């Protein structure tokens, strides 16, 4: 999951970025409305976490303009204003969810996971692919009932493939959703993590689930992919 975190309070921004990254999310940041607007228009994000009280351009103005320009990225607004009017206005302008400060990181993470599931039209927090189970709430993975330990980056890659199961995802798509703007790795690292996943997910099982489509990318086996 790649997130744009827009917050002008630097201590909170730093703490949230660290907490989200520890959970395996790729996080870009912006401390004012102009920078947020530039990044929202220039990269592909799963969710934008948007503070309302921002310098240069406020959050509601940004949100209104993004929706006018048909930027469809999910937006979760953060506000210190615990009033019904502010919440209603944000939702009416196109926000998908909101959190009132102060909040717990666990709640923010849960809401982010829910928004990503919504974008892929998935309601059940447990994704099932043949004998593979991915519990997106607990971030736990099992195959044939056996618990599989994955690093945060490996888990993020597997979840991304699962949300697109049966469809080819290119290296570029994977890169854009799993790596932030400051990551110095090259796109070849995607192939490395695919190998890591195959060792943990497919090794020792008769049916491989992670498939290569040469010249196109990778995919997680769908119900119809039996070859």
Residue range 121-167, pLDDT digits in tens: 777 889 998 999 999 888 899 999 999 999 988 998 999 999 999 99
Instruction: Determine the pLDDT at residue 38.
Output: 96
Confidence of residue 227 (pLDDT cuts 50, 70, 90): very low
Confidence of residue 225 (pLDDT cuts 50, 70, 90): low
Average pLDDT, the chain: 89
The pTM (predicted TM-score) of the whole model is 0.81
Query: CATH code at 109?
Result: 3.40.50.2300
Residue 162 and residue 206 in one domain: yes
Residue 111 and residue 16 in one domain: yes
Query: CATH code at 187?
Result: 1.10.10.10
The burial class, CB within 10 Å (0-12 / 13-18 / 19+), for 183 is exposed
Give the percent of the chain with pLDDT over 90.
61
Are 201 and 148 in contact by the 8 Å Cβ rule? The answer is yes
Tens-digit pLDDT profile for residues 169-185? 998 888 888 877 666 66
The burial class, CB within 10 Å (0-12 / 13-18 / 19+), for 133 is middle
Residue 112 and residue 138 in one domain: no
Higher-pLDDT residue of 47 and 83 is 47
Instruction: Determine the pLDDT at residue 224.
Output: 61
Residue 225 lies in a domain: no
Instruction: Determine the pLDDT at residue 175.
Output: 84
Chain-centre distance of CA 85, in angstroms?
A: 29
Of residues 115, 81, 78, 71, the one with CA closest to residue 96: 115
For 31, the domain range is: 2-119
Instruction: Determine the pLDDT at residue 133.
Output: 95
Residue 16 and residue 46 in one domain: yes
Residue 80 and residue 150 in one domain: no
Last residue of a domain, one of 71, 94, 119: 119
Last residue of a domain, one of 88, 119, 150: 119
Higher-pLDDT residue of 39 and 176 is 39
Residue 78 lies in a domain: yes
Overall number of domains in the chain = 2
Q: Indicate if the pLDDT at residue 30 is higher than 60.
A: yes
Long-range CB contacts (within 8 A, 24+) of 5-12: 5/29, 5/30, 5/49, 6/30, 6/31, 6/33, 6/36, 6/48, 6/49, 6/50, 6/51, 6/54, 6/59, 7/31, 7/49, 7/51, 7/78, 8/32, 8/51, 8/53, 8/54, 8/55, 9/51
Confidence of residue 105 (pLDDT cuts 50, 70, 90): very high
Residue 166 and residue 108 in one domain: no
Residue 54 and residue 114 in one domain: yes
Are 153 and 193 in contact by the 8 Å Cβ rule? The answer is yes
Instruction: Determine the pLDDT at residue 81.
Output: 66
Of residues 167, 159, 171, the one with CA closest to residue 132: 159
Tens-digit pLDDT profile for residues 58-70? 999 999 999 999 9
Residue 146 and residue 215 in one domain: yes
Residue 227 lies in a domain: no
Residue 99 and residue 144 in one domain: no
Confidence of residue 190 (pLDDT cuts 50, 70, 90): confident
Q: Indicate if the pLDDT at residue 226 is higher than 60.
A: no
Residue 99 and residue 134 in one domain: no
Q: Indicate if the pLDDT at residue 40 is higher than 90.
A: yes
Residue 50 and residue 6 in one domain: yes
Residue 109 and residue 136 in one domain: no
Residue 196 lies in a domain: yes
CA distance 197 to 144: 16
């Amino acid at each position: 999951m790649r997130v744009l975190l827009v917050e002008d309070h630097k201590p909170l921004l730093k703490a949230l970025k660290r907490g989200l990254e520890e959970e395996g999310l790729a996080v870009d940041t912006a401390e004012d409305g102009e920078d947020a607007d530039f990044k929202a228009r220039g990269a592909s994000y799963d969710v934008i976490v948007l503070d309302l009280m921002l310098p240069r351009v406020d959050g509601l103005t940004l949100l209104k303009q993004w929706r006018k320009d048909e930027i469809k990225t999910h937006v979760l607004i953060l506000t210190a204003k615990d009033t019904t009017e502010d919440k209603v206005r944000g939702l009416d302008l196109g926000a998908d969810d909101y959190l009132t400060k102060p909040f717990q990181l666990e709640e923010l993470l849960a809401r982010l996971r829910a928004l990503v599931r919504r974008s892929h039209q998935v309601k059940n927090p447990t994704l099932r692919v043949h004998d593979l189970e991915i519990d997106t709430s607990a971030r736990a993975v099992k195959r044939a009932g056996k618990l599989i330990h994955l690093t945060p980056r490996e888990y993020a890659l597997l979840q991304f493939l699962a949300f697109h199961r049966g469809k080819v995802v290119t290296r570029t798509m994977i890169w854009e959703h799993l790596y932030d703007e400051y990551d110095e790795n090259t796109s070849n690292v995607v192939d490395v993590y695919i190998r890591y996943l195959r060792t943990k997910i497919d090794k020792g099982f008769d049916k491989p689930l992670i498939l290569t489509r040469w010249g196109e990318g990778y995919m997680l086996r769908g119900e119809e992919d039996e070859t």
